[in-house]
Structure 1
Amino acid sequence: MTFSASHDTQLRMFVAVAKSRSLRAAADSVGITQPALSKHIQSLELKLGHPLFRRHGRGMQLTPDGEALFRTIEPLFDALDESVSHACVNGPGWGLSLRIATVQTLVGHFVPTLSKELLRLYPQVRLSLQCESSSQVVETVLRGIADLGLTYSTDVNAAELECVDLHSEHLALYHHKRSDVNRAAISRLSDLKLILPPRHFGVRRYVERVLGCQIQPFIECNSLELSLRMSAISGAIAILPEHVPRDLIESCELKRVILADIPPRRLVAFWRAQNSKPVVLDAAIEVARRTPAEQ
């Protein structure tokens, strides 16, 4: 049996009468006239096909069917009312959650800015942030473990995913200020002492695809911050996206040289294709589109 909004009202009226055991007291509590309340109860009994109350001079007594209905729906209305009350008190986002999977190179600048704006819009939303390689970010979203993925377009090609472009990003070399990295050296990238992540990371695959050969790094490292620090102490050169936070670069006494001759990659936000997206996911996508590439 399907109930409409009017039946929901009738059930609310039924609960009020069941609690008050009096039409008059219940009518006062819900703010309608006694005849109008009586009509709601009669309509509900007609819909269900059996009486819910025995009327007598002292008020209204539940029938066995009425008692069973009351015990079933009264806790449901209490829980619903409590949820609405919490939402009013706690503000937007209460009870909502969003799981974001991202590549680590976005953790230092893009993701914190996106999260800050999202929490401003939905202060009570529960955020879950996961850092993975590009391929793992895609797999995490495909499997429904994350709601939103942030990585590069070269890694997102599944038909089950929808995506939106955010911005373009060049790769860059990060080396110690005292080391000499000139244009001639840059033209022979594969000959340099490089710091790169493992091959299942998008940066490594992209560099090898552009150079047309596999690279054996001097140091293999899957941490952005550790790659920078290793560059500072080893004299090796880290290849990372251009938008590494400036404070990290300066703290390691490094220089950044953007590889302008290598085509940039497009950062994208993506999610599983679905008929309708949760409001918080829609908001996160829009915030991601507005978030600048560099702070």
Structure 2
Amino acid sequence: MFVAVARANSLREAADILGVTQPAVSKQIRALEASLGRTLFLRHGRGMQLTPDGRGLFLELEPLINALDTALVRSSLQSQQGGTLRIATVQTLVASFISMLSRELFDVYPNLSLTIHCDSSTNVVESIERDRADIGFVYETAVDGPDLVSQPLFEETLALYTRFDVEADEPLNLVALKLIVPPRAYALRRIVERALGAPVQPYIECDSLELSLRLVSMTDGVTVLPSTLPRDMVEDRGLRRRLLPSMPARRLVALSRSGHRASPAFDAALEIARRIGTRAITPG
């Protein structure tokens, strides 16, 4: 009210702008002056004139009020045109699934404020539980908790990535290969170990998909990753891809908290994720 009166130089005009009565504005101005122990306005027939104390207070407050107005307008626009969405995901999904999801989300909400955080399956689940993310994409084996809602999306197959040629019909002994795999906290490592029936002694332990592929291109190591990695990530590094039909497929799920208030962007992300799942995600 003080800023409105200072701008308008009039109780009546300030009341009209604020949508309140003139006596209500006058009462609040008097209360503010009493609280500060200072006279902020000189009252005269032509309206209200700031005193030196009032001028000093106005110069301090007006930029703050302007910043608040700007923030509220920006928030309103985000709400109308996309709002915000926080995604937590395992890293192996970023190159294909999350990239496709993000592109289609921005087609619908071009002004969406999107945050994507990559981590291990365990930490993705924790991000949802602790409200650090709105939606998580993780593999079904990692989901555990009474306050979590899990919605199945699709199954993902795995492939072996190597620097040397491996014939498709050639028997493959993964135990004998120099495996580059993530730490045991990652679901992918546990799946590989279950398929082999024994703990893995890694050639290199690495939790980065990009770095794992780079290490394969530079060493005699091999790695097991989703079969859907884009061709430019594989062929540009001179790598080969061999599907592993004996390796169990992983079911991807969308994870959220029970009672989570879904936003339009959340609903859109879930719908797009389901739509991606209905399409055959093929290598490259």
Say whether residues 1:272 and 2:257 are aligned partners.
Answer: yes
TM-score by length of 1: 0.69
Decide whether the 8 Å contact of 2:89 with 2:137 is kept in 1. Answer: yes
| Distance change (3 Å), C-alpha of 1:127 and 1:26 | closer
Pick one of 233, 249, 258 that aligns with 1:248. Answer: 233
Q: What amino acid sits opposite 1:169 in the alignment?
A: E
Q: What amino acid sits opposite 1:124 in the alignment?
A: N
Indicate the SS of the match to 2:171: helix
Pick one of 185, 189, 196 that aligns with 2:174. Answer: 189
Pick one of 162, 165, 177 that aligns with 2:149. Answer: 162
Deviation at 1:202, TM superposition (A): 0.8
Partner residue in 2 for 1:68: none
Q: Quick one: distance in 1 between partners of 2:260 and 2:93?
A: 29
Unmatched runs of 5 consecutive residues or more in structure 1: 1-14, 31-36, 46-50, 53-57, 62-76
| Mapping for residues 7-156 of structure 1, pairs under 5 Å | 85-86=73-74, 92-93=80-81, 96-156=83-143
Indicate the SS of the match to 2:274: helix
Decide whether the 8 Å contact of 2:78 with 2:112 is kept in 1. Answer: no
Q: Quick one: distance in 2 between partners of 1:278 and 1:143?
A: 18
| Mapping for residues 212-231 of structure 1, pairs under 5 Å | 212-231=197-216
Deviation at 1:239, TM superposition (A): 0.8
Q: What amino acid sits opposite 1:278 in the alignment?
A: S
Deviation at 1:183, TM superposition (A): 3.4
| Distance change (3 Å), C-alpha of 1:161 and 1:155 | same
| Distance change (3 Å), C-alpha of 1:174 and 1:21 | same
Partner residue in 2 for 1:9: none
Partner residue in 1 for 2:247: 262
Alpha-carbon displacement from aligned partner over 1:55-83 (angstroms, at most 9, x marks no partner): xxx9x99xxxxxxxxxxxxxxx9999766
Count of aligned residue pairs for this structure pair: 259
Indicate the SS of the match to 1:154: helix
Alpha-carbon displacement from aligned partner over 1:99-146 (angstroms, at most 9, x marks no partner): 211111111121122112222322333222111111111112212222
TM-score by length of 2: 0.71
Deviation at 1:89, TM superposition (A): 6.3
| Distance change (3 Å), C-alpha of 1:275 and 1:137 | closer
Indicate the SS of the match to 2:95: coil
Report the more deviating stretch, 210-219 or 166-175: 210-219
Unmatched runs of 5 consecutive residues or more in structure 2: 29-44, 49-64
Q: What amino acid sits opposite 1:134 in the alignment?
A: S
Report the more deviating stretch, 115-124 or 139-148: 115-124
Say whether residues 1:200 and 2:196 are aligned partners.
Answer: no
Decide whether the 8 Å contact of 1:149 with 1:270 is kept in 2. Answer: yes
Decide whether the 8 Å contact of 1:92 with 1:124 is kept in 2. Answer: no
Q: Quick one: distance in 2 between partners of 1:242 and 1:196?
A: 15
Decide whether the 8 Å contact of 1:104 with 1:131 is kept in 2. Answer: yes
Pick one of 256, 260, 266 that aligns with 1:281. Answer: 266
Q: What amino acid sits opposite 2:213 in the alignment?
A: L
| Distance change (3 Å), C-alpha of 1:191 and 1:279 | same
Q: Percent identity?
A: 39
Deviation at 1:258, TM superposition (A): 1.1
Aligned alpha-carbon RMSD (Å): 4.1
Q: What amino acid sits opposite 1:98 in the alignment?
A: L
Deviation at 1:233, TM superposition (A): 2.5
Decide whether the 8 Å contact of 1:92 with 1:123 is kept in 2. Answer: no
Alpha-carbon displacement from aligned partner over 1:129-169 (angstroms, at most 9, x marks no partner): 11111111111221222221111111112221112122111
Partner residue in 2 for 1:12: none
Decide whether the 8 Å contact of 1:172 with 1:242 is kept in 2. Answer: yes
